[in-house]
Chains A and B, each alone.
Chain A
Amino acid sequence: MLVASRLNAGEQRLRDLLLRGLAGDEPAYRAFLQELSAHLRAFLRRRLVRLPDEVEDLVQESLLAVHNQRHTYDVGQPLTAWIHAIAKYKLVDLLRRRSRQDVLTDPLDDELDLACAAETEAADARRDLGKLLLQLPERQRLPIVHMKLEGLSVAETARLTGMSESAVKVGVHRGLKALAAIIRGDK
């Protein structure tokens, strides 16, 4: 019972942060994503015991998915169910992708994985999202660089790039979705 109520309290806290974030409270949203990444890391590490160096990549991919699909959270729904469904969806997608690649790679790969496992406890992501960002077209990359990385406002970004304010917003939105598509290998 105690464990259950503690879990509920944790979920309640995380849910409050998300709801405030959805209403436009940026610090709350940042705190939500921060706590969520620890939660996702634990969730995915348990399910990727044999692929430890994929964990951080998948944490990042799931975070991006949660962010891109955050409008699909239903206020009446348990937050854990929503989060876990997204993480599992991305996990299954990764395993499917890998099983397709494994046909092409040599079996030595498995031993290399084992060798890395011990030293990469707090591994960084192997995939560099910053580099993937460079693959986006300018109308998506520039709004993301100025707004999301340099922290400029919509108006400032619009002035700097010569784009309209709505084009800047659309560029960020579509750019982050395109980033997810690049990761899963669609583009």
Chain B
Amino acid sequence: MRTDDLVTMLATGAGAVQPNQAARRYATALGCGALGAALLMATLLGPRPDLAAAFLQPMFWVKLAFVASFATASLFAALRLSRPGQRLAWVPGVLSAPVLAIWLLAAIVLARAEPAQRAALFFGDTWNSCPFLITTLSAPAFFAVVWAMQGLAPTRLRLAGAAAGLLSGAVGTLLYSLHCPEMDAPFIGFWYLLGMLIPTTLGALLGPRLLRW
């Protein structure tokens, strides 16, 4: 087939294209991913028994704000990496801001605490299950976000896969934080982050295979 014939073939009956498809795909993916994570959390773990009391504690909202801002930043990263030729620009900055903020808070908490208490602030009661439960809860969002990306056109597949993993990790963590009893910044700044980095690593490994087009 000559190139001119291909051009004619592609143009014939091409029709109009729905605008905002990226936003729509991501809205669907995040909705399904969050719903899946909520169902997993409710059936496997259940919300913490004192959830109503936790709503009154500032640290609960700090924790939620950290995860939510991280989720927003990774959504920006994923959206940009889903389209050809988009620069990352300020994405690294936006991603690191919530991390630096929680680390700063953690440093202050640790500095003020009695030396004997520091280990308890860092390890909490659940450090050995937290990252793996977060990874489990992020699975539905991971598949959903990869689906969203497959309908778009990422060109840097490893980075795009990592962004999909990070976003799904943040969604999973958001739901996990309704179950998790830990409220200390040193715990959150390390173990939550580690939990989100596991799906990120998986995404970076699988990206080139899952996202080719």
Residues in chain A within 8 A of chain B (CB atoms):
21-24, 26, 29-30, 33-34, 37, 56, 59-60, 63-65, 67-74, 77-78, 81-86, 88-89, 93, 124-125, 128-130, 144, 147-149, 151, 153-154, 172, 176-177, 180, 184, 186
Contact = CB atoms under 8 A, between A and B. Distances in A.
Contacts of B13: 26, 147-148, 151, 153-154, 172
A60 B3 CA distance: 6
Interface string B1-26: 11110111111111111110110000
B92 interface: no
A121 to B, nearest CB: 14
B86 interface: yes
Contact of A67 (B4, B10, B18, B84): B10
Contact of B84 (A29, A56, A69, A128): A69
Contact of B7 (A63, A68, A70, A180): A63
A151 B155 contact: no
B212 A184 contact: yes
A88 B8 CA distance: 24
A85 B155 contact: yes
A71 B6 CA distance: 19
A72 B10 contact: no
Dominant secondary structure at the B interface: loop
B21 A71 contact: yes
A154 B15 CA distance: 11
B152 interface: yes
Contacts of B3: 37, 56, 59-60, 63, 125
Given A72-B153, A184-B212, A26 B85 contact: no
B10 A64 contact: yes
B1 A70 contact: no
B185 to A, nearest CB: 37
A85 B84 contact: yes
B145 to A, nearest CB: 16
Contacts of A56: 3
Dominant secondary structure at the A interface: helix
Nearest to B21: A71
Shortest beta-carbon contacts, A-B, top 3: A24-B16, A85-B85, A85-B84
A1 B133 CA distance: 58
A26 B152 CA distance: 22
B90 interface: no
Contact of B6 (A68, A74, A85, A129): A129
Given A33-B11, A71-B21, A153-B13, A124 B2 contact: yes
B83 interface: yes
B12 to A, nearest CB: 5
Given A22-B16, A22-B17, A151-B12, A72 B6 contact: no
Contact of B18 (A34, A37, A65, A71): A71
A130 B12 CA distance: 15
B69 to A, nearest CB: 24
B59 to A, nearest CB: 39
A71 B86 contact: no
Given A67-B10, A69-B152, 7 more contacts: A30-B7, A34-B7, A63-B10, A74-B22, A88-B155, A144-B9, A153-B13
A153 B13 CA distance: 7
A30 B84 contact: no
B213 A69 contact: yes
Nearest to A24: B16
Nearest to B79: A74
Contacts of B86: 74, 77, 81
30 contacts: A23-B16, A24-B16, A29-B14, A30-B8, A34-B7, A37-B3, A60-B1, A63-B10, A64-B6, A69-B213, A71-B18, A72-B83, A74-B83, A74-B86, A77-B83, A77-B86, A81-B84, A81-B86, A85-B84, A85-B155, A86-B155, A88-B155, A89-B84, A93-B212, A129-B6, A147-B12, A148-B12, A151-B12, A180-B213, A186-B212
